[in-house]
Structure 1
Amino acid sequence: MTKLRTKLHFAFLPLIILMAAVGIYAILLTYYLVSTVEQLEYEDIRSTNAVSELITAVNRTNAGVNLIFNGYRDEGAAVIERNRDIIEQQLDKQQASATDNEAKALTEELAEAVRTHVNLVEMILDPDESIPDSYTLRREESAQQISELGGAIIERNNASIANTFNAFEIRTETFIWITIIAIFAALLLALLLSYRISDRLVHPIEEFTEKAELIGQGDFETRVSYHSNDEIGRLAQSFNHMLDRLRAYRRLLNAEITQTRMTLETIVKNLPVAFFFYDQDAQLIITNDAADHLQNAPEWKNGMPEEVNALQRQVQESHKLYAPDQLDDALILHVHNEERFFLPTVFFVEGDRSKSGVVMMLQDVTKLRLTSDLKNDLVAIVSHELKTPLTSARLSLYMLSEEQFGDLNDVQRELVATAKDDLDRQLKTIQSLLSLSKIESGSSRLERQTFHPCDLLENSARETRQAVEEAHLELQIEAAETLPDIEGDPFRLQLVLTNFISNAIKVSPEGTSIVLRAAQQDEEVRFSVIDHGPGIAPEYRSRVFNKFFRIPEQQTKGAGLGLSIAREIALAHNGEVGCESEIGKGSEFFMILPLRWDAHSDARAQMSTPAPQK
C-alpha cells in the first residue's frame, strides 16, 4: 500500500531534479567564469602589462643615450642603468606569461631584439668604446623592432581577451535561456503538481466538507465516494463507518426521543395542575386536561383572566422565574361560579423562535388556603380563649407570690415561682401565636413612615443594650450616615432586629461582640446582626424561619416563633430575611428591605403588633 506521503514525494521528484540540474549548471558556469578570469589575469593581462612596461623602459634608455650625446653623461648613464633592470624584469614576466607556441615565438623574437638593444646601449656607457657611424641607426631600429614586437604581443593579448569575453556572453546567454526554460518547465510542473494534488487532496477534502454540511443539516444517508489505499482512502472508510454509527445512534435517539416525548405528554396531560405553554407571540399552543377544564369555565369564555395574562407578559419580558411559595401569593380566580385559589409557577423556555416560550402552571391550592385560614382562625380562637384564664391564673400566682393571703413556706414559695414562670412562658407563646395569626390573616395595618436606617439600628441597640451588658458582650453599630431613607413601619421592623439581637445574645460567648450593620445594595438596604457563636449547621439554615423550629444543639428557651414572625414582617414590607453561617465562626441574620415600599403589593401589610421571641 503506497502512502500518500510517498506519492507526494514522487510527484515533486521531477521538479526537484530540474531545480538541482539548474543549480549544478549554475555552479559549473560560475566555476568556468572564475577560472577564465584568473587565466586572463595571469596570462593576457599580465603579458600586456609586462610588454607595456618593457617598451616604456626601452624608450627611457634611448632618452638616456641622447643625454650622453648631449654632454650629460652621468645623468644619461643613471637613466640607462635604472631602466635596464626594469627591461630585464618585464622580459622575465613576459617569458613566464607565454604559454602557447605563438606567444613563445613572439616572446623569443622580442627577447632577441631586447638583447640587441641592450648591447647597443651598453656600448655608449664604455668611454673607451668607439662608436660606429651606424650606431644611432642600429639603436633606433632595435627600439623600433621592440615596439613592433611588443605591439604584436599586446594585439594578440587583446584579441584573446575579446574572444574570452565573447565566450562569456555566449555562455551567459545560454545560461539565461536555460534558466528561462527551467522556470517555464518548473511552472508547468507546478501546475501539473497542483492539479494532481488538488485531484488527490483538495477534491476529497471538498467532498468531505460537502458531506459534513449535509450531516449538519441532518442527512445521515450520504456517503463519501473515495476509493484508494492511501491515508485519504482510510479516512473515507472511517468517515463512512462513522456515518453508519451515527445513523444507528440517530435511530436509537429518535426512538428514545419519541418515547420520552410520549411520556412527557402523558405526564403533562395527567398533571393535577393546569399546564399552559405560550409561544413567542403569546399564543396558547399546549394545554392539559386541567387547563382545558379551566378554559371551559363560563368566566373564561372571553379569554384568560387579566391576572394570568399579566404574569405571562411579565415573564415573557424578563425571562425570570416567577414561583411564589406562600399561599398568600395565590391568585384568586373565579371558575364555574366558585372562588378558587391558584398558586402560579411561570418560567421562560429558551430555544429558537419556534420552540421558545412561556410555561405557566396553576396549582389549585383552594383547600390548602381554606385549611390555612381555618387553622389560623382556630389558633386565634383557642389562643384567645386560653389567654383569659391563663391571665387570671397568672394574676393569682403573682398575688400568692407576694404573700397577700398569708405567709408561704419555702416549698410553697418555690412551687408558686415555678408555676408563675410556666404561666409566663405559656402566655408569651399564646401571644406569639396570636400575633402570627394576625400577621398571616392581616387584621390590622402597618404604620407607614419614612425613616433613616441608622435610627432603626440605634433604637434596636438601645432596647437590647441592658441584655447585652448582662451577658458581658459588646454591641457594635456599623452604618454610614449617607444611607438613604427608607419607607416602612419602624416599630415592627425594630421587632425583627431585636429578635435577631436576642438570639445572638443567647449563642454568643462572653467577651465577644455583636455587630449591628446596615448597607445599601442598589435600591435596597441590608440590615444584619452578626454574632461569633458556634454557627448553624447547613441542614438547619433553611429551616430556622419555620414555625416552632429550634436548633437541636442549642439549648435555648422559647417556642420557636420569633423568626417566623420576623419573616412575616419582612415579607409584609416586600422584603426578605435570611441566614448565613459558618460552623465555629458565627452567624449573620439579615433583613433586606426596598427603599420604597408598596404597601398594597402584599396582603400581609395588614397585621397586628407581634411580640416575637424565639
Structure 2
Amino acid sequence: MIRLSIRKKLYFGFGFLTVMIVLLWVTGSYFISNLSDRSEAMLHENYQSVESAEYLVKTIDEIENLQMEIIFYDRSTENIDSIEKEKQRFEEHLKDVNNNITESGENNLVESLNQSYGLFVKMLDKSLNDTTNARVFFFETLLPQYKKVRNDIIKVSDKNRNAIIYKNDSLNRTASRAFLLLSLIGAACFFIGAYFSLIYPKSIIRPLKQLTAGIREIANRNYEQKLDFKSRDELEELAGAFNSMAGKLNEYEHSNLSQLLFEKKRTETIINNMNDAIIGLNENFDIIFSNLLACKLIGVSSKEITGKKVSEVIGLNRLLRDIFSDFSDNMYIEKPEFSSIKIVSENKPAYYSKEVFQVLLSGEGSNITPAGYVIILKNITRFLEQDEAKTDFIAAISHQLKTPIASLKLNLKLLSDSRIGNLNSEQSELIETLKGETGKMLNITSELLEISQIETGNFRFDLKPVNPVQVVDYIRESSEKQAAENNIFIEYILPETLPPFFGDNEKTAWVLLNLVNNAIQYSDKGSKVRIELKANNKFVEFCVEDFGKGISAEYLPRIFDKYFRVPGSVSKGTGLGLYISKDIITKQNGEIWAESSPGAGSRFCFRLPLSKKII
C-alpha cells in the first residue's frame, strides 16, 4: 500500500480541488463569453437587417400612397416633394441593408431588391413627368413593380428572421451544454470538499484525541499506556515515538525508584543531623518536613505537624505561633526587623534567629515557579551573650571615662581664666583646641553610654504631656550659639497654637538639638537652617531643614543605621546620633524619616502622638 504523508494528502486533496475550481472558472468564463459574443453578433447582424427591412416596407408603402394621391386627387408640389423625401429615406435604409449582408443567399436577395427598386424609381419618375394615361400606367406598370419591390424586402426580412430563430436555438443548446458541464464540475467540487470537510478531519482528530488521552495517562505515571495508529503517515510515526517514550519512562521509573528512595533517605538524614532547626513548607503552606532538632525545640513530634497546614498547627503552642508569625492567610509577609525567639529548654533560656528562604524552581525559558519555603532556626545565644558583654564593657568604659574627661574640661577652663595667669596667643589657641577635642570626647562617651543604656533596656523615659514650643525653647540658646559661630541664620516657623504631645521633654529636645547641629554642620556659611512645627488631629511634627549639598538617594535608607556615615561627609562624628534619635522617637510611639536631594539640602522630620490631656 502506498504511504502518503499528511502533507502530501493535503497537497493532493486541496490541489485537486483547486484544479477543479479553476476548471469551473475557465469553463464558465468561456461559455459566458461565447454566449455574449454570439448574442451581440446576432443582434448586430440580423436584427438590424430586420429593422431596416421594416422601415423599407413602411417607406415604399408611403411612396405608393403618395403616388396614388397625386394621380387620383391632388397633383400638388407638396406631394411630389414628400415622395422625394421618402425616396431619400428608403435609399438610406436600403444602404444599411446592403452594408449588413451576413447570411448565405442574402446577397442575391439584396441584389434583386436593388434592381427592382431601381426599376420602380424609373417608372415612378416617368409617371410624375408624363401625365398621359397616368392611371393606366399606374395600374398596369407601376403597381406590379411596387409589389415586386415589397416582396423582395419581405424576402430579405424573412431571411434574417429565420437566421435569428436558428441562432437563438443554437444559443439555447450551447447554454444547456454549459449548464450541464458546470453542474458536473460543481458537483465534483462539492463532493470533494465535503469529503475533506467531514471525512479527512475525523481521520486526524481521532488520533489526536487518543494522543491527548495517552499524554494524560503518562502525566499520571501510567507508563504502560500504548497507542495504535494504522494511518501510514506521520501520525503512525508519532504513535511509535510515543510508545517508545512510554517504554523508556516505564523502564526509568522501575530502575530508578530504589535510587530515588535512597537519595530521599539520605537527604532526610542530612537534614536531621544539622545543628540548626529546619522546617519545610510546600507552595500550599503545608508542612512537609521538620528535623529532629526542630521537633525537640517546639515540643511536638514530626507526625503531629507533617502534612498539616500552618493555620492548623499555630494553635498547638506559643513557639509555633512565633515561628509562623510571618505566615498569614496562606501568604508570607516578610518582616524586615530582626527579632530573636526565646526558647526555654532544660530550664535554660536560649535565643534563636529565624530565617525564611523561598524555594524557587526554574522552568522552561525564564519561568520561575514558587515551590515552598524553608524556615531555619539558628542558636544565637552565644552571640547575644557576647554582645551583652560588649555593651556592658562600653557602658563601664564610658562611665569611667566621663569623670576624668569632665575634670580635664574643668581644668582647661581654669587655665583660660586670667585670674590664674595670662596666656600668650599660642597658649590660648592651644587651650581652645584642647577644649574642642575634650568636648568631642565627652560627646562620644555620652553617646556610647546612651547606646549601652538603649541596648540593655536601661534607657528610661519620663512620658507626659509636653508643649512643643517648650522643646524648641529648650534648645534655642545652644543651637543659635553654634549657628552664630558658623554665620548661619536659624528660621523658626511656629504656629501660634499647638496641641501638646505625649513624650519625654528632655530626650525629644536632645533629638531636635542633634538634628539642628547636623544641619548646621552640613550647611554653607551664610546660609540658613529652618525649624518648622505643625500638627494634625493625631501627631505633632518637628522638621529641621538645611540647604546644603544634600544626601544621595542610595544612602537615605541607611541614614539611621548604627555607625553609618555618608561617604565623603565633612563631619567626623561617630555615626550614632541619628541611630539614637530613631530609638528615642520610636520608643515614644513616634516616627522619624529623612528627605533629601543632592544639591537641594536635606529635611529631617519626626512626629509624636498628641496627648489626651490638655496642659
TM-score by length of 1: 0.72
Among residues 326, 333, 346, which one is paired with 1:320 in the alignment?
333
Q: How far apart, in 2, do the equivalents of 1:278 and 1:544 lie? A: 35
Unaligned runs of 5+ in 2: 305-312, 362-369
Please name the residue that 1:189 is paired with.
192
Please name the residue that 1:464 is paired with.
479
Q: How far apart, in 1, do the equivalents of 2:61 and 2:27 lie? A: 49
User: What is the Cα deviation at residue 471 of structure 1?
Assistant: 1.7
3-state DSSP of counterpart to 1:322: coil
Q: How far apart, in 2, do the equivalents of 1:242 and 1:532 lie? A: 72
Correspondence 1:335 to 2:345: yes
* Structure 1 contact 464–498 (Cα < 8 Å) conserved: yes
Correspondence 1:82 to 2:85: yes
Change (3 A) 1:569 1:258: farther
Correspondence 1:178 to 2:195: no
Please name the residue that 1:94 is paired with.
97
Code of the residue aligned with 2:64 in structure 1: it is N
Correspondence 1:436 to 2:451: yes
Please name the residue that 1:124 is paired with.
127
Please name the residue that 1:447 is paired with.
463
Among residues 584, 590, 595, which one is paired with 1:569 in the alignment?
584
User: What is the Cα deviation at residue 499 of structure 1?
Assistant: 1.8
Q: How far apart, in 2, do the equivalents of 1:494 and 1:263 lie? A: 61
* Structure 1 contact 68–74 (Cα < 8 Å) conserved: no
User: What is the Cα deviation at residue 496 of structure 1?
Assistant: 2.6
Please name the residue that 2:51 is paired with.
49
Change (3 A) 1:569 1:231: same
User: What is the Cα deviation at residue 304 of structure 1?
Assistant: 4.8
Q: How far apart, in 2, do the equivalents of 1:536 and 1:342 lie? A: 36
Change (3 A) 1:311 1:43: same
The CA deviation string for residues 504-561 of structure 1, in whole angstroms up to 9 with x for no partner, is 433444345556689999x9979565563486897998487425x6678657455554
Code of the residue aligned with 1:337 in structure 2: it is N
Among residues 292, 306, 314, which one is paired with 2:318 in the alignment?
306
* Structure 1 contact 516–530 (Cα < 8 Å) conserved: no
Code of the residue aligned with 1:315 in structure 2: it is F
Change (3 A) 1:56 1:408: closer
Q: How far apart, in 1, do the equivalents of 2:529 and 2:218 lie? A: 66
3-state DSSP of counterpart to 1:286: strand
3-state DSSP of counterpart to 2:337: coil
Q: How far apart, in 2, do the equivalents of 1:462 and 1:397 lie? A: 23
3-state DSSP of counterpart to 1:510: coil
User: What is the Cα deviation at residue 380 of structure 1?
Assistant: 3.9
Identical-residue share of aligned pairs (%): 20
The CA deviation string for residues 289-328 of structure 1, in whole angstroms up to 9 with x for no partner, is 3322223499x99975436416625532462113533xxx
Please name the residue that 1:501 is paired with.
516
User: What is the Cα deviation at residue 282 of structure 1?
Assistant: 7.6
Q: How far apart, in 2, do the equivalents of 1:385 and 1:185 lie? A: 113
* Structure 1 contact 214–220 (Cα < 8 Å) conserved: yes
Q: How far apart, in 1, do the equivalents of 2:193 and 2:498 lie? A: 79
Change (3 A) 1:25 1:384: closer
1:383-398 alignment runs, 5 A limit: 383-388=398-403, 391=406, 394-395=409-410, 398=413
Code of the residue aligned with 1:322 in structure 2: it is K
Change (3 A) 1:263 1:130: same
* Structure 1 contact 319–348 (Cα < 8 Å) conserved: no
* Structure 1 contact 67–75 (Cα < 8 Å) conserved: no
User: What is the Cα deviation at residue 185 of structure 1?
Assistant: 0.8
Q: How far apart, in 2, do the equivalents of 1:589 and 1:127 lie? A: 138
* Structure 2 contact 465–500 (Cα < 8 Å) conserved: no
Correspondence 1:157 to 2:157: no
Q: How far apart, in 2, do the equivalents of 1:517 and 1:552 lie? A: 28
Please name the residue that 2:170 is paired with.
167
Structure scoring higher RCO (CA < 8 A, sep ≥ 6) equals 1
Code of the residue aligned with 1:36 in structure 2: it is R
Among residues 126, 135, 138, which one is paired with 1:135 in the alignment?
138
The CA deviation string for residues 248-294 of structure 1, in whole angstroms up to 9 with x for no partner, is 9999x999999997787566434444334467898755322332222
1:217-232 alignment runs, 5 A limit: none
User: What is the Cα deviation at residue 125 of structure 1?
Assistant: 1.0
Code of the residue aligned with 1:57 in structure 2: it is T
Code of the residue aligned with 1:338 in structure 2: it is K
Correspondence 1:21 to 2:23: yes
Among residues 294, 297, 304, which one is paired with 2:297 in the alignment?
294
Among residues 45, 58, 61, which one is paired with 1:59 in the alignment?
61
Code of the residue aligned with 1:320 in structure 2: it is I
Q: How far apart, in 2, do the equivalents of 1:56 and 1:349 lie? A: 110
* Structure 1 contact 223–243 (Cα < 8 Å) conserved: yes
Change (3 A) 1:65 1:543: closer
User: What is the Cα deviation at residue 409 of structure 1?
Assistant: 6.2
Change (3 A) 1:423 1:261: farther
* Structure 2 contact 461–504 (Cα < 8 Å) conserved: no
3-state DSSP of counterpart to 1:275: strand
Among residues 479, 496, 510, which one is paired with 2:525 in the alignment?
510
Q: How far apart, in 2, do the equivalents of 1:187 and 1:455 lie? A: 100
Change (3 A) 1:533 1:22: closer
Unaligned runs of 5+ in 1: 598-614
Code of the residue aligned with 1:75 in structure 2: it is E
Code of the residue aligned with 1:336 in structure 2: it is E
* Structure 1 contact 508–532 (Cα < 8 Å) conserved: yes
TM-score by length of 2: 0.72
Q: How far apart, in 1, do the equivalents of 2:231 and 2:467 lie? A: 86
3-state DSSP of counterpart to 2:278: strand
Code of the residue aligned with 1:568 in structure 2: it is D
3-state DSSP of counterpart to 2:328: helix
Q: How far apart, in 1, do the equivalents of 2:590 and 2:154 lie? A: 123
More deviation in 508-517 or 432-441? 508-517
User: What is the Cα deviation at residue 394 of structure 1?
Assistant: 4.8
1:228-377 alignment runs, 5 A limit: 265=268, 268-277=271-280, 285-296=288-299, 304-306=316-318, 308-309=320-321, 312-313=324-325, 315-317=327-329, 319-322=332-335, 324-325=337-338, 329-345=339-355, 360-377=375-392
Change (3 A) 1:333 1:449: farther
Change (3 A) 1:302 1:138: closer
* Structure 2 contact 277–377 (Cα < 8 Å) conserved: yes
* Structure 2 contact 399–449 (Cα < 8 Å) conserved: yes
* Structure 2 contact 590–609 (Cα < 8 Å) conserved: no
Q: How far apart, in 2, do the equivalents of 1:368 and 1:79 lie? A: 142
Change (3 A) 1:45 1:192: same
User: What is the Cα deviation at residue 184 of structure 1?
Assistant: 1.1
3-state DSSP of counterpart to 1:532: coil
Q: How far apart, in 1, do the equivalents of 2:124 and 2:274 lie? A: 142
Q: How far apart, in 1, do the equivalents of 2:250 and 2:610 lie? A: 60
Please name the residue that 2:364 is paired with.
none
Change (3 A) 1:460 1:76: farther
